Amino acid sequence: MTAYLDHAATTPMLPVAATAMAEQLTQVGNASSLHRTGRAARRVVEESREKIAKAIGARPSEVVFTSGGTESDNLAVKGTYWARRDADPARTRLVVSAIEHHAVLDCVEFLVRHDGAKVTWVEPTSAGFVEPAAVRRAIEEDPGSVALVSVMWANNEVGTVQDVRAIGDVAHEHGIPFHTDAVQAVGHLPVDFAGCGADLLTVTAHKLGGPIGIGALVARRDVRLVPLTHGGGQERQLRSGTLDAPAIRGFAAAVVAATETLDTEVPRLTALRDQLIERAVSLGLGIRPGGHWAAGDHERRLPGNAHLLIDGCDGDSLLYLLDAAGVSCSTGSACQAGVPQPSHVLRAMGLSESDARGALRLTLGHTSTDADVDAVIEALPAAVERARRARRATS
């Protein structure tokens, strides 16, 4: 039996979401059609939009459905950059944290290569925090040139939670829109779009118990965006494409369920995370937590994120050895799996290449139990020993 500790990559669907999606899959109707079945599909979409908006403190009109986090990040970054640059040719600079997901990083690099954009990377602290003062310094190099500020709400590798309200305030002091990738935050932390200071917020369903392939960009009505896709203009003329009513219904069911259980799930997962970290460190194998960690702290580190640094090992070796022992985990962002390069997040935090290579990301979710923690602790000693032998043999 496998102990699944890779919930940050994707988490199992919640039963209520799977049921809602399955029921809708048997229904016919294009939500853009005007006949009865089309109107029924449209009702499902709009009721789901209302549920998602209510759960995250947004207005229904601010929820723009997309295919997931990557598309939402691309629409936020490219769409805002193009709109702001077209309105003011001087707005060619992006202020972005150096620890963003590649859905943001690669989007920025595309704009640099193809549109002549400039970027100021905001480096984090050694614990993984992006300080509002650092964002301010980056903006004030030339405030009139900045098109967008983008800083993720919670890091997908080391779990650090940023002060998005303060960062948004800094951006708004200079009249600059602020985007936050909240893929790891929604459903795991309290998220209030209206009060968080963001103009644009990315969310995806499969990180919180919904289906893969559906997400949203939550965008304030006064934010100007250039669409990436053109066609029917179904979503506020910002995103074209036939709306996936079954996935949207499953998405809404998952968001509601995940946010309604935060009061019990946050302390439960925090306790499991702390148990995992403390037991791993106490093995005497030279294991230490990556990023910020203090027992019981779920405000500055995601409740379910147990990021470990293990000296003298390669993360890929540890991953495969633990997999063989029945433990599923990650070395970092799942989108980078198999790429023989150290994590850009850890390198930005100041870790050496050697230390960054020996990282494991163990993430817990709604199906996690004490048995999963036990399985990791039981498998770690042998895996670390073999991984270190393999590193010595190749060095």
Contact between 103 and 74 (Cβ < 8 Å): yes
**What's the pLDDT at 251?**
99
> Which pairing describes strands 63-66 and 215-219: parallel, antiparallel, or unpaired?
antiparallel
DSSP annotation of 222 reads T
**What's the pLDDT at 340?**
62
pLDDT band for position 207 (cuts 50, 70, 90): very high
Q: In angstroms, how far is CA 58 from the centroid of its own chain?
A: 18
Structural domains in the chain plus CATH codes: 3-11+262-394 (3.90.1150.10), 15-259 (3.40.640.10)
* Mean predicted lDDT score pLDDT of the chain: 96
Mean pLDDT of 64-85: 98
Type of residue at 290: G
pLDDT digits (tens, 9 = 90+) for 42-56: 999 999 999 999 999
> Dihedral, CA atoms, 225, 231, 235, 237, nearest 10 degrees?
40
User: Is 107 labeled as catalytic in the residue annotation?
Assistant: no
Residues 62, 81: Cα–Cα separation, whole Å: 19
Q: From the CB of residue 206, how many other CB atoms can be counted at a distance below 10 Å?
A: 24
| Confidence check: pLDDT of 181 > 90 | yes
Instruction: Specify the pTM.
Output: 0.96
The active-site residue out of 107, 313, 329, 335 is 335
How far is residue 36 from each of residues 22, 26, 32, 41, 242, measured CA to CA in Å?
A: 21, 16, 11, 9, 17
Token pair of 67, please?
A: 């295919």
Sign of the C-alpha dihedral computed for residues 23, 25, 26 and 29 taken in this order: positive
- Look at residues 106, 98, 6 and name the one whose alpha carbon lies nearest to residue 361: 6
**What's the pLDDT at 215?**
98
**What's the pLDDT at 341?**
78
pLDDT digits (tens, 9 = 90+) for 268-295: 999 999 999 999 999 999 999 999 999 9
Residues 297, 380: Cα–Cα separation, whole Å: 25
**What's the pLDDT at 393?**
84
Radius of gyration, CA atoms only, the chain:
21
Sign of the C-alpha dihedral computed for residues 203, 228, 108 and 176 taken in this order: negative
Mean pLDDT of 106-113: 98
pLDDT digits (tens, 9 = 90+) for 116-159: 999 999 999 999 999 999 999 999 999 999 999 999 999 999 99
Residues 41, 145: Cα–Cα separation, whole Å: 44
pLDDT digits (tens, 9 = 90+) for 304-362: 999 999 999 999 999 999 999 999 999 864 445 555 678 999 999 999 998 999 999 99
Residues 159, 153: Cα–Cα separation, whole Å: 10
**What's the pLDDT at 392?**
84
Sign of the C-alpha dihedral computed for residues 296, 299, 305 and 306 taken in this order: negative
